[in-house]
Amino acid sequence: MIRIVVTGAAGFIGANLIKGLNARGLTNIIAVDDLTQGDKFRNLADLQIADYVDAGDFYNAFATDAYGEVEAVFHEGACSDTMESDGKYMMRNNYTTSVQLYRTCHQRGARLLYASSAATYGGANTFREEPAFEQPLNVYGYSKLLFDQRMRRECGTAFEQARTGRSAQVVGFRYFNVYGPREQHKGRMASVAFHQFNQFKAEGRVKLFGDYGGFAAGAQMRDFVFVDDVVAINLWFFDHPEISGIFNLGTGRAQPFNDVASSVVNAMRQINGQAALSIDDLTAEGLLEYIPFPEALRGKYQCYTQADLSALRGTGCTHEFADVKTGVTSYIEWLTQQA
């Protein structure tokens, strides 16, 4: 029976990956995480796994072959707080641990599918998987970039060898702005859609940043990607072990934060039997409010992101991504059911 490891298993993307694997009948899964934040157990409670291992114990034990033959490791475990300023902590969690895991996978012949980030691009205006466009704005983005660079250096040949079956697969996914079910534990790092759902429930309105970076209020644009699509792409590469490399994982379509806000509010209005409203009407009725851009984020904030999907499409992957309205509406329905 295929054995799979998922690190960050009780986290947002990790738990959704396990859900996707379970849907395929795959349950021989070793879930790795740190449940110091105990409420994260809820993300695993309805899933099927073979074992749970604390992250503090797993990596050294894995290096000693404690878990037998492993087909693939989905490495989602990391510190994802872009506001974290402790660089030593960030590099240990996101870089050093990942290097150790790669070495073990390489020695054991296990495939490694890992989470990188669009934060590697930082201040760039082009989002293509090339060093010329990698300009991280914070230590989180740098920690992800450094591991990508390490993989390019150590797996440069392996990326080519994997296509001919001579080396185990190594794939890095540069996640853009992911939103969807099972992110409730992320606090301030949860998606805009999650926070706006709770704002609207509590206050009857949602809030967005005002004008900044040459963009009008609420008009800053991101590539928002639904977590179901993230799972689908991970599993597509799982089905194609001959393909390795670093790939953007976004929709390839930038949309303004105003689209997220209107999708959240109108989805909640629809649930209550009310008609949808335009952005202008939402603002006029006080359902959407713009607040001053925070000083703490100036110079550290990406006002525009849009994944270049050329490399992804070049692999033959034709997956169609949900737009904001479709994905957010589905997510709000899920949040409402949970509440």
Residue 196 has what DSSP assignment?
H
* Residues listed for the chain: 339
Task: Give buried/exposed letters for 3-30 (b at 16+ CB in 10 A, else e).
Answer: bbbbbbbbbbbbbbbbbbbeeeebeebb
- Locus of tokens 């109108």: 266
CA distance linking residue 136 with residue 183, whole number of Å: 24
* Known active-site residue 186: yes
CA distance linking residue 14 with residue 16, whole number of Å: 5
Query: SS3 breakdown of the chain: % helix, strand, coil, rounded to 5?
Result: 45, 15, 35
Dihedral sign (CA 173, 177, 182, 185): positive
* Known active-site residue 301: no
CA distance readout (Å), 137 to 118, 145, 248, 323: 11, 11, 18, 27
3-state secondary structure 181-194: CCCHHHHHHCCHHH
Dihedral sign (CA 262, 263, 264, 265): positive
- Locus of tokens 């079910």: 181
Residue tagged active-site, from 102, 140, 142, 175 = 140
* Residue 311, token pair as written in the block: 């490399």
CA distance linking residue 26 with residue 112, whole number of Å: 17
CA distance linking residue 51 with residue 38, whole number of Å: 17
Residue 93 has what DSSP assignment?
I
Residue tagged active-site, from 89, 186, 290, 325 = 186
Catalytic machinery residues? 140, 186
